[in-house]
């Protein structure tokens, strides 16, 4: 681990690297682990919200790469016509992404992605049996519809990323998953251990050896055939290399990325998209403002004054002074603290044990076993 206290992640940057937008609250699936509170309701984002966000984003995008991530609900449930109207105010330097369950992807959607240069990330948890938690609103398995959507992307030659949720890490699973995603044809894979968040109150306490073993096995599978960019593993290896080179402190951004999530109604929640749509007697609705009344740039400039955000920044400093993994993790996510600990100034959560501490330990375990 880095010997001196890492200096990054102090306060919140005024300009984000991306914005998350919610074109609709609706999702056509009803996955057992979903955190979204309003996924059965179709509350669509008015075009005026997109116009207001674009007024801040377009100048930011002129300075370099800038992304808008359309995240729902299920963003494609907004329909092509409405999504096109929401994309229209953004300038040519803005890169658009959708995070989709792929069940609605067909030839017409593929043509839409190509025309609007939208990058696609598909949520799929591995082979059929690993998707048992992913069901339609009628309770039927969604797997066949997910792979039909992926097949359409491949038919059209559209590159895509994949995001898999792992609920029960166990021996053999990492190899099975990696082989599956090699066959699926994704370019990038992200792996999330299920989180206790939002309306998903299932515990995410897992056996430490199982989780560390899962990550170590995933590195081994990837090293045999590293055709996919494996997000968590590449990021861990980059950190381990930087520690050895004495440059680990250069990896963390100087400030926290505000990652504004703009809800369907224009409300802005910073740092953790998972807090959007919730409220708490102590923290209110977690919002920092609404783009229909205040420019996004102005909302972000004042985000540090949002009461829960100040508490979170205290928690980040507590992580900095107490946790050996801070240089790798940067202080974790606000939503994990809130939904696990009930407040924002705590430190270790089950999420950070599963997805930061044991991830790094798994990568080091793999390195030790293959010296």
The maximal CA–CA distance of the chain, rounded, in angstroms, is 58
* Least separation in angstroms between CB 324 and ligand SF4: 8
Q: Could you tell me the CA-to-CA distances from 67 to 94, 96, 234, 308 in Å, in that order? A: 6, 6, 21, 26
* Least separation in angstroms between CB 354 and ligand SF4: 10
Closer by beta carbon to ligand SF4, 149 or else 315: 315
Helix (H) or strand (E) holding 315: helix 307-322
Cα 101 from Cα 247, distance rounded (Å): 38
* Least separation in angstroms between CB 338 and ligand SF4: 13
C-alpha closest to that of 295 among 45, 54, 98: 54
Closer by beta carbon to ligand SF4, 1 or else 237: 1
Closer by beta carbon to ligand SF4, 105 or else 359: 359
Closer by beta carbon to ligand SF4, 266 or else 331: 331
Question: Residue 191's beta-bridge partner residues?
Answer: 164
Binding site for ligand SF4 (CB under 6 A): 319, 323, 325-326, 329, 331-332, 347-348, 352, 356-357
Closer by beta carbon to ligand SF4, 348 or else 365: 348
Residue nearest to ligand SF4 (CB): 332
Neighbours of 45 (CB within 10 A): 25
Count CA within 13 A, CB hemisphere, residue 212. 13
* Least separation in angstroms between CB 64 and ligand SF4: 28
Q: Could you tell me the CA-to-CA distances from 206 to 166, 338, 358 in Å, in that order? A: 11, 19, 11
* Least separation in angstroms between CB 258 and ligand SF4: 18
């Amino acid at each position: 681990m880095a010997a001196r206290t890492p200096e990054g992640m102090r306060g919140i940057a005024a300009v984000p690297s991306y914005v998350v937008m919610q074109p609709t609250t609706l999702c056509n699936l009803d996955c057992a682990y979903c955190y979204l509170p309003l996924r059965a309701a179709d509350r669509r984002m008015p075009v005026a919200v997109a116009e207001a966000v674009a007024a801040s984003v377009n100048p930011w995008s002129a300075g370099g790469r800038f992304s808008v991530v359309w995240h729902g609900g299920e963003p494609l449930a907004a329909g092509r016509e409405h999504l096109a109207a929401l994309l229209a105010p953004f300038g040519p330097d803005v890169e658009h992404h959708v995070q989709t369950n792929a069940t609605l992807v067909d030839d017409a959607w593929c043509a839409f992605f190509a025309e609007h240069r939208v990058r696609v990330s598909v949520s799929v948890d591995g082979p059929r049996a690993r998707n048992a938690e992913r069901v339609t609103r009628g309770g039927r398995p969604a797997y066949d519809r997910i792979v039909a959507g992926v097949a359409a992307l491949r038919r059209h030659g559209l590159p895509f990323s994949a995001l898999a949720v792992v609920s029960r890490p166990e021996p053999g699973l990492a190899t099975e998953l990696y082989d599956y995603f090699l066959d699926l044809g994704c370019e990038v894979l992200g792996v999330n251990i299920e989180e206790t968040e939002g309306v998903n109150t299932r515990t995410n306490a897992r056996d430490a050896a199982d989780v560390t073993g899962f990550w170590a096995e995933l590195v081994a599978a990837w090293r045999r055939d590293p055709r996919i960019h494996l997000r968590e593993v590449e990021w861990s290896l980059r950190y381990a290399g930087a520690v050895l080179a004495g440059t680990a402190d250069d990896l963390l951004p100087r400030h926290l990325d505000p990652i504004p999530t703009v809800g369907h109604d224009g409300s802005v929640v910073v740092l953790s998209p998972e807090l959007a749509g919730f409220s708490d007697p102590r923290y209110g609705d977690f919002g920092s403002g609404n783009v229909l009344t205040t420019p996004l740039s102005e909302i972000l400039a004042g985000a540090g004054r949002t009461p829960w955000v100040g508490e979170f920044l205290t928690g980040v400093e507590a992580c900095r002074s107490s946790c050996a993994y801070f240089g790798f993790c940067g202080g974790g996510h606000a939503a994990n603290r809130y939904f696990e600990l009930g407040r924002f100034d705590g430190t270790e959560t089950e999420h950070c044990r599963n997805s930061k501490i044991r991830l790094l330990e798994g990568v080091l375990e793999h390195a030790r076993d293959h010296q």
